[in-house]
Chains A and B, each alone.
Chain A
């Protein structure tokens, strides 16, 4: 058993966020490693850095004791023997499976200067033979199912015979039978003294296959847990979740106002379903702050967008103050008093090249018009009052929005809807990317709105926020509501446990 790959003090940051903070570890041959962590813990960034798709800001990678500068995934594969299946698939949908399998050696298959179809097919069958012999290699990759894509990519990776194989979230679209097949292939590779890094949100799978488990949180490696014995699953699971939850204290949360929550249902969802959601039933009371939690991409954001009329093909009933309403476009949503704030603030919520006044006033501007002419004095006054009321730090209304800090931009984005007197607010990660101070201001603001009786349904991803901010937490998994926590029941361990199937 030799040390195949060593990562020393790896650092990487992207504008505004630190993705990797001093990550160091080493991986031995003939072992299967698990890599777990919350959304945004830095797993995918780590994989992409090792594969050369990103360059680290600091730190070194050693392959078999030699310092390695990996400049591209191509180099990682052919010079360093590291291969990865990325979370975002890298098959090219417009080419056939066979062409995808030989994409990097098409010019070696020439006969009379033309790509030999026979050779191409023969090679494809050879590669697919072990992993998924029933995939038709003449099909376009774009016509494959998610599961087939994963298997074809796996076959391609194995055919290159890498020393280190990294699988980033590949089991998500696979059914149990296929996962078992995948595991038997991984065990075979392990016998051949290869190193495998297996990333998954399904802890059960991690415990089943991995010898050691690396836990990441906030871009840091929190610890490595030994699982070679594979007999004490519940204690190892407990250890993993403990490492994932260790939080840094420091945020101040406003007091919950649940005393003021009345028994009047404000927004009620009955059997909301579409391609991504299954039968969502939910009641939200006047002045209540409800958080949607769960692993990213399990339907929380989609639910907000579905209520706001942004997901075509959504069926089911939405009742506002007991009356049934239909929302099939953002305009209708706004007319009914249902306001949605996207998590892609700078792209979807703000007119980035315009000033603060324009951004605050535009959605409601017609209400301040007389005979179709906008009354600019009144308009300015109204905008000014909302900007002041929200404590937006800006030189004036005519400062371009892009000169504001993230927190102030978010306040402006919210402010433009507050002018319209919302009946319900749907917020997608309202504090994402903000610093601590700005976060706390947003918390205060949300609480204030609740105290005024406006119910808020918000997607939150940060554990600390989920535990401390809302009156109620709804956990979603695979498009379904799987658990509900009242404020007094929320505890980190149970919460995180409910995320995983």
Chain B
């Protein structure tokens, strides 16, 4: 009896340690918030946290697509440009009606994702090159459509997306929750998600097991573009205009959050939960640096260091793990 209990404790103790180790990201968030609250009196306000939630939304949405792209063993460098494109096209078409405009934007995004996916999965162009090319193509088109920021953004859409009850940004919060649920279901609970892990882990094994790597990858880039376009619409509501460069900074953020959230550069390992929390961290980081009066240039330097060191740490752990395995 005692032995059984000991076994049980050992088994579950180990599980607890593992789950704690996997949730290191929550600890980072907590520690970060505590330090920030201590460092800046302005940070310790409800409205700060409400603003953080709002600025998390576009990061989290773009990163959802990037997570799937990285899990499938690729990259999507065009997400920032797709978000910019969404702001440009929506700001031009909003005058004809909010819903038709959003539908047009999303259809165009799916088309771009499809082209990315065909280039990568069918023509075997490296995902880095394909999406880099797509990014520049879109940048050009965006500037053609909207050479200077502006355009019409209906007050109703702005009011809805940025709706605050008291100080609480209800819709932003709901979007984050929905994104989390959606990301979890798609990646963990549907055949498509499992296929993404399989293809990212080893495309050949996946093929031998009867999964179609080509269609899986095409769908991944379509989903990535779709998420980026949704983020773009939110960004447009926030800056209340269309801007050909509005989405650019989010490309970088999407990589930091994906890798910080524990998804591996090598593909096939990770998930959206970590990415979502990492999005909160990155939004908070931007906010606290702003409160501390750190100029935007230093923010770039800090984020650059962060990305490189996270990727380096990951590779270190992968190597350690594989050495232990063999």
Contact = CB atoms under 8 A, between A and B. Distances in A.
A77 interface: yes
A94 B198 contact: yes
B269 A90 contact: no
Interface stretch (B44-52, B118-126, B206-214, B298-306): B206-214
A115 B185 CA distance: 9
Instruction: Report whether over half of chain B's contact residues are helix, strand or loop; otherwise say mixed.
Output: helix
Q: Pick from B188, B208, B268, B269 the residue with the most CB of A within 10 Å.
A: B208
Contacts of A99: 194
B7 interface: no
B164 interface: no
B209 A104 contact: yes
A271 to B, nearest CB: 22
Interface in B194-210: 194, 197-198, 200-202, 205-210
Given A94-B269, A114-B185, A115-B190, A104 B210 contact: yes
A86 B205 CA distance: 10
B206 A92 contact: yes
Given A73-B210, A74-B210, A86-B208, A93 B191 contact: no
A115 B189 contact: yes
A92 B202 contact: yes
A90 B194 contact: no
Interface string A99-133: 11001101100000111000000000000000000
Interface in A45-94: 53, 72-74, 77, 86, 89-94
Interface string B179-194: 0000001001111001
Contacts of B197: 92, 94-95
A114 B193 CA distance: 11
A65 B209 CA distance: 27
Interface string B307-325: 0000000000000000001
A95 B201 contact: yes
Contacts of B188: 115
Given A92-B198, A95-B198, A114 B209 contact: no
A275 interface: yes
Interface size class of A (residues with CB under 8 A): 20 to 34
Nearest to A112: B189
Contacts of B190: 113-115
B3 interface: no
A103 B210 contact: yes
Nearest to B199: A92
B6 interface: no
B48 to A, nearest CB: 37
A100 B77 CA distance: 31
Interface in A364-414: none
A47 to B, nearest CB: 12
Contact of B201 (A93, A104, A113, A115): A93
A74 B206 CA distance: 11
B191 A94 contact: no
Nearest to A75: B210
B194 A106 contact: yes
Given A53-B208, A92-B209, A93-B201, A103 B194 contact: yes
Contacts of B206: 92
A364 B325 CA distance: 39
B204 to A, nearest CB: 8
Contacts of A53: 208
A103 B209 contact: yes
Contact of A115 (B191, B205, B211): B191
Contacts of B185: 114
Contacts of B205: 89-92
Interface in A131-168: 142
Given A93-B201, A95-B198, A106 B191 contact: yes
Contact of A90 (B191, B200, B209): B209
A275 B323 CA distance: 11
B269 A77 contact: no
Contacts of A92: 197-198, 201-202, 205-206, 209, 268
Interface string A195-233: 000000000000000000000000000000000000000
A373 B208 CA distance: 54
Contacts of A275: 326
A77 B210 contact: yes
A142 to B, nearest CB: 8
Nearest to B71: A94
A105 to B, nearest CB: 9
Query: Could you say which of B190, B191, B197 has the most chain A C-beta atoms within 10 Å of its C-beta?
Result: B191
A186 to B, nearest CB: 22
Nearest to B202: A92
Contacts of B211: 103-104
Q: Which of B194, B198, B211, B325 has the most A CB atoms < 10 Å from its CB?
A: B194
Contacts of B194: 95, 99, 103, 106, 115
A93 B269 CA distance: 10
A110 to B, nearest CB: 8
Contacts of B191: 106-107, 115
Given A114-B190, A115-B189, A73 B208 contact: yes
Nearest to B206: A92
A100 B197 CA distance: 11
Contacts of A86: 208
B294 to A, nearest CB: 39
Contacts of B209: 90, 92, 100, 103-104
Contacts of A93: 201-202, 268
B178 to A, nearest CB: 16
A114 B269 contact: no
Most buried by B among A72, A103, A107: A103
Given A86-B208, A90-B205, A93-B268, 4 more contacts: A73-B210, A89-B205, A104-B210, A115-B194
7 contacts: A53-B208, A73-B207, A73-B210, A77-B210, A94-B201, A103-B209, A115-B190
Top 4 A-B residue pairs of the complex, sorted by shortest distance between their CB atoms:
A94-B201, A94-B268, A114-B189, A106-B191
Interface of A: 53, 72-74, 77, 86, 89-95, 99-100, 103-104, 106-107, 113-115, 142, 275
